[in-house]
Each structure stands twice: as structure tokens, then as C-alpha cells.
Amino acid sequence: MSRRVVITAASAITPIGYGQRDIVESLQQGVSGVKPLRDDGLLASRIHSKVFGTVDYPIPFDFARRFRKTMGPVANYACQVAGDVLAASGLDQEFISSGRLGVAFGSTHGSPTVQRDIYRTFFQQLDSGFSSIGAVDYLRSMVHTTAVNITRMFHITGRVIATATACTTGSQAIGFGYEAIKFGLQDAMICGAADEYDTTTVAVFDNLLACSVAFNEHPEQTPRPFDKKRDGLVVGEGAGAVLLEDYASAKRRGAPILAEVLGFACTNNGGDMILPNLEGITATLQLALQEAQLVPEKVDFISAHATATKMGDSIEAQAIAQVYGNRSPYVSGLKGYTGHTMGACGAIELICTLYMMQTGFLAPTLNLEEVDPRCAMIQHTPACMDADTRIAAIQNFAFGGVNTCLLIRKGTDAG
């Protein structure tokens, strides 16, 4: 049994806006969501990188108290976008709670804000006990907090897939949800990922010398994917969710088809835990095309992972060139706008790509002023341009050697 899988709703909270209108406007106008790192005391003062992709606008999070008590910041983000897609879906509660709707959702490591408070309490109360740690603190901090808080809030009883593979968390969630529907295990899936603002995440990458430090005084000028002056990634926050459905069911109930998921590939390099691997990435892109039964010439646009690290961008560019040859699709690195939203990046970047396909334009890589010669073998999107993008690839790669690629087709072509 193999079924077609379509996207019928989407929502994203990002450093460049919440929802399609704001995100499209920011992409078209070249707006950066990178801001100065918030000063949270001693930790921030010891970090060299002083920039962050920040959600700096209010979000209501109008959840009942009985739900809020098990939710940290990352679950707030997750439940907000999941609620958005359910509200847009038109699905009734009988189906939502029928067991035929599941959730594939994740984050990099649960809620680091809550985790830090728990550890602080442990170390400060060694002699007096740990009575101030609440019964729900673990539920707010655990790695699968996003997925299970979504199921609890909306009374979803289908399967739960909680992904946690760093930068491929969101793309894995969408890919695994796609496979669950394709092979008849579920009729619909809410898929995505979220990550919250926390300086400990910046500290980790800063310690690895992977963060941007040269543009601390001008946050909007970094990160710089594929650019000659790029000097590292910028950590960010946000969330993205899509509703995936069996195509026949979506058509039968008259749901709007935003896009069709044509293929998904997920592989591991089987080697180094940090450095990108040309052979592994190349194999992943090829496998996704094979699974989607597409020749490279059919792909119009690539949303590159493009974190703005020296090695990562150049190896990704080489992989694209090997797979697509002289006829490279247009390529953009959307992290130039948002920073690296960690586990959420795959979901957010797929949604940004979806919005561009719907609106009929392509956004260039922000801050790409002079292409690094080591990244010059691909076709960079030259400027914000009108484009009828029919098929797009979304690529993400993670620490641990995890590689993913999703292929989607424009909704009007999915019928």
C-alpha cells in the first residue's frame, strides 16, 4: 500500500514573523530577524557571539491553565503552531481523537530553560532536599515535551513520533509523518518542531568556534550563507508545523492542497559526529530524488541547509553540484533571514519555501554579497524574483552525521 501525501495547513513562528503574511513580507523585503543576544547575566557575558535569531514580538499563548502547567517555552511554541494548523484544517474533533491522526514533533533537547532551573535547584539544595522542584517540571523539560503536550491539548490519540536529531529534527518529523501516511499507518499527521531562546545553546556552539562573532555590532549582517566573509552560524528560535493528509481523503473533504510531499530521504554518514560529509550528503540528495521518482532537472529550487560555517556551506555546494550537474536549480540559504533555528529549521524552511511557491517568488540568500569561490559552482538566487516554482527540495544536516532531504510539489500541480 502506497498513498499520496499532501500538505493541507501550515503555520510558523519565526524571527522574521508569525504567519504567512509577515514571513512573506520579510522575505520579499530582505528583513533580518537577527538581534543582539539577550543579557541573562554571567553566561551571556562569557559568550563571544552576541547575536541571536529572536522572536521579539508578543504571542498570546492563550492556553487553559490545566494545559499550561506542563508546558515550558518550547511547548508553548509547539502547541501554538499545532493549534493553528488544526484550526485551519477544518477537521472535526471526532476525527482528531479517532486514532487516525498522529503527531510527529520534536525539539533539540526539550526545554533548556526549565532544565537549567531544575539543575540549579539540585546543586543549590543538596543539604535541604529538592522540595521546590515541582511534579510537572520533568514534563516541561523532557525531550518529547512538544509532541505529548500537543496530543494532550488537542486530545490526539494516534501514534506519537518525537524526533530529536538536532538540526534535522523538524525535517525528520515531516519525513516520518509522510511515511506513516504513505504506508497507511495514519490518515493524517501534525508534523514539525520547535526550539526556544536559551543562551546555553549559543554557548555550546560558541565553545566549538562555530558561531558568528565578526558582526556583533551589526547583527542584521550575519549569518552570511555561502558568502566569502561568513564566519559561523547564528543560533535562533521558533517553530513550524504542517498538517499532512492522505491525498484521497483531503480531496474527498475538499481541503485546500498547499503542496504534495513527493519524497523523503534520511541517512547517516556513519563516521565523524561533527564534520559534514560530502559522500553522505550527496547520497541523501540522490536517494530523495529516487524515492520521489524525479530526475534532477525537474527540481526548480533548493532550500539549502547553509548554516554559514566555512566547511558546511562549501561541502553542501559541492554535493548539490554533483547531484544536479551544470543545470543547478536556484539555491537559497534561508538562515540568512532567521538564523539557525536549531531543531525547528527543517519545518520553518519547508514552510518558507511553501509560502514562496504559493506567492510566486524566490527570496535570495540574505547577506550573500560576494560568493565564496568554494560555493560558486551552484546557481545562487540572484535577487528577490518572480518565479513559478513547481518542485522544491529542502535539505538539512545535523551533528551526529544525520542527513535529510524532502521534496515537495506545488499544490496546484498536486491534483
Please tell me which residue, 39 or 225, carries the higher pLDDT value.
225
5-413 homologous superfamily: Thiolase/Chalcone synthase (3.40.47.10)
Q: Taking residues 246-251, what's their average pLDDT? A: 96
Report how far apart the first and last C-alpha atoms of the chain are (Å, whole number): 20
Domain boundaries, the chain: 5-413
pLDDT score at 126: 63
pLDDT at 211: 97
Interatomic CA distance for residues 363 and 387, integer angstroms? 10
Are 224 and 367 contacting, i.e. CB atoms less than 8 angstroms apart? Answer: yes
Q: What is the pLDDT of residue 61?
A: 94
As a whole number, mean pLDDT of residues 1-19 equals 96
pLDDT at 38: 86
> What's the chain look like in SS3?
CCCCEEEEEEEEEECCEECHHHHHHHHHHCCCCEEECCCCCHHHHCCCCCEEECCCCCCCCCCCHHHHCCCCHHHHHHHHHHHHHHHHHCCCHHHHCCCCEEEEEECCCCCHHHHHHHHHHHHHCCCCCCCCCCCCHHHHHCCCHHHHHHHHHHCCCCCEEEECCHHHHHHHHHHHHHHHHHCCCCCEEEEEEEECCCHHHHHHHHHCCCECCCCCCCHHHCCCCCECCCCCECEECEEEEEEEEEHHHHHHCCCCCCEEEEEEEEEECCCCCCCCCHHHHHHHHHHHHHHHCCCHHHCCEEECCCCCCHHHHHHHHHHHHHHHCCCCCEEECCHHHHCECHHHHHHHHHHHHHHHHHHCEECCCCCCCCECHHHCCCEECCCCEECCCCEEEEEEEECCCEEEEEEEEEHHHCC
Sign of CA dihedral 348, 177, 265, 403: positive
Given phi > 0 = left and psi -120 to 50 = alpha, else beta, which region is 235? beta
CA dist 8 and 257 (Å) reads: 5
pLDDT in tens, 17-72: 999 999 999 999 999 999 999 876 657 788 999 999 999 999 999 999 999 999 99
**pLDDT (0 to 100) of residue 200:** 87
Average pLDDT over residues 380-387: 98
Q: Determine the average pLDDT of the residues in 389-404.
A: 97
Report pLDDT for 68: 94
Provide the CB-side half-sphere exposure for 142 (13 A, CA): 12
Average pLDDT over residues 216-228: 98
Average pLDDT on 246-272 reads: 96
pLDDT at residue number 128: 58
pLDDT digit string, tens, across residues 292-335: 999 999 999 999 999 999 999 999 999 999 999 988 899 999 99
Determine how many CB atoms are found less than 10 A away from the CB of residue 273: 8
Average pLDDT of the residues in 208-219: 96
Span 117-166, pLDDT tens digits: 888 777 776 665 566 677 788 899 999 999 999 999 999 999 999 999 99
pTM: 0.96
Kindly state the average pLDDT of the residues 275-280: 95
pLDDT of residue 127: 61
Averaged confidence pLDDT in the chain: 95
| Residue 415 in this model has a pLDDT that exceeds 80 | no
Mean pLDDT computed over 283-300: 98
Tell me, what's the pLDDT at 302? 98
Q: Which pLDDT belongs to residue 122?
A: 76
Buried b (16+ CB within 10 A) or exposed e, 286-298: bbbbeebebebee
